[in-house]
Structure 1
Amino acid sequence: MLYVIDRWLGRICLAVSGVSIIVMALVAFVDSIGRKLGHPLYGGSEYVIFALLIFFFSSIPLVVRDDSHIRVGLFSDLYKRRLSRIEALFTSIMEVVALGFFTWMIFDQADRLERFGTLSVFFELPMAPFVFLAGIFCLIAIWFAVHNLWIVHRQPRPRPHAIPDDEDTDA
């Protein structure tokens, strides 16, 4: 059942991010042609801003799901198996905590924008629903992060230059 939920959440995020990047490309194309003809796309920058916001936040769950983060590990290739597992567990826990804090900040910002009635500049659209949507995508990212935390101990971690464990040297 969880795999079905994962698959559908991934498909939704993939579709939303794909549509938003296509919208950004089309707006940029139409605006650039329109500028050459003396008729720029009115509100084109605002279209791009909204599409970029949606693209960015709908892509975060996909990065978390696929564990495609950029990682910098100075000595992580040299870790023994146990230390490698501890490091993977620690980073997964910190990922869930950081995403939780980030999600809280996004929802807090959406609440503030709603309370103050903040509107976009050109179309005068309320900003809160867009930020609230970003918070929903952050919740989906937390879902995937918790799922990754649950399976982190089962994931093989190839360490080609690792210092062998004591039990590895006995063979």
Structure 2
Amino acid sequence: MITFNKIDAWADRLIRLSAFIGTLALLAEVLIILVDVIGRAFGAPLYGSQDLGTMAFVIIVFAGMALSDKMGGQIAVDLFEQAMGDRLNKIINILVAIMGCVIFLALAYAVYDSAKISVMLNLQTNLLGLQKVWFQWALCAFALLTALGHLLRTVTFTRRWLGYLEWN
């Protein structure tokens, strides 16, 4: 039987994989910049470093998004938290998690539409001629993973609020 805890455990594994991919992209970005800077000093910059750097930044940002959400790393302004009361704060937490899920689902849908256009027009990067669709699909997958994280956070907040200990 599939329980919430099993779904949450699989989501954690996917989030860790996503963060690992983001870490690899960050290391690649550092290497690209290092080789490009040293190459410029000798009059031979790395050809296509702008293409590689842009795609690596896309992966860095979106691969780490789900982990940031899971760890609560987003910006929070708590100026009015004390004045609103516990019940209203819990409702706001649930609504914010739902809004995050909807936003990332909309982002995934928009990027998926853009990827279909990239396939149709065979869009490529400017210098290296890399197919843009692969990066768009990766961004779409990372956005869907982040939306899943928001959905699981919504369920977790709701379960805590309602007082359920186990969801079977």
Deviation for aligned residue 1:74 = 4.1
- 1:44 deviates by 1.2
The aligned counterpart of 2:157 is 152
**Equivalent in 3, 13, 17 of residue 8 of structure 1:** 13
TM-score normalized by the length of structure 2: 0.85
Residue 58 (structure 1) aligned with residue 63 (structure 2): yes
Look up the match of 2:40: 35
Greater shift after overlay, 22-31 or 91-100? 91-100
Number of residue pairs matched by the alignment: 156
Change (3 A) 1:155 1:31: farther
Equivalent in the alignment of 1:83: 88
Which of these two proteins has the greater Rg computed from alpha carbons? 1
Report the AA paired with residue 80 of structure 1: G
Structure 1: gaps (5+ residues): 157-171
> How do residues 84-163 of structure 1 correspond to structure 2 at under 5 angstroms?
84-153=89-158
The one-letter code of the counterpart of 2:17 is I
Alignment-derived partner of residue 165 in structure 2: none
Preserved CA contact (<8 Å) 2:8 2:152: no
Percent identity between the two aligned chains: 22
Q: For 1:17 and 1:155, locate their aligned partners in 2 and report how far apart those are by CA, in whole Å.
A: 31
The runs of at least 4 consecutive aligned structure 1 residues that moved more than 4 Å come to: none
1:35-57 per-position Cα deviation (integer Å, ceiling 9, x unaligned):
11112111111111111111111
Instruction: Calculate the TM-score normalised by the size of structure 1.
Output: 0.84
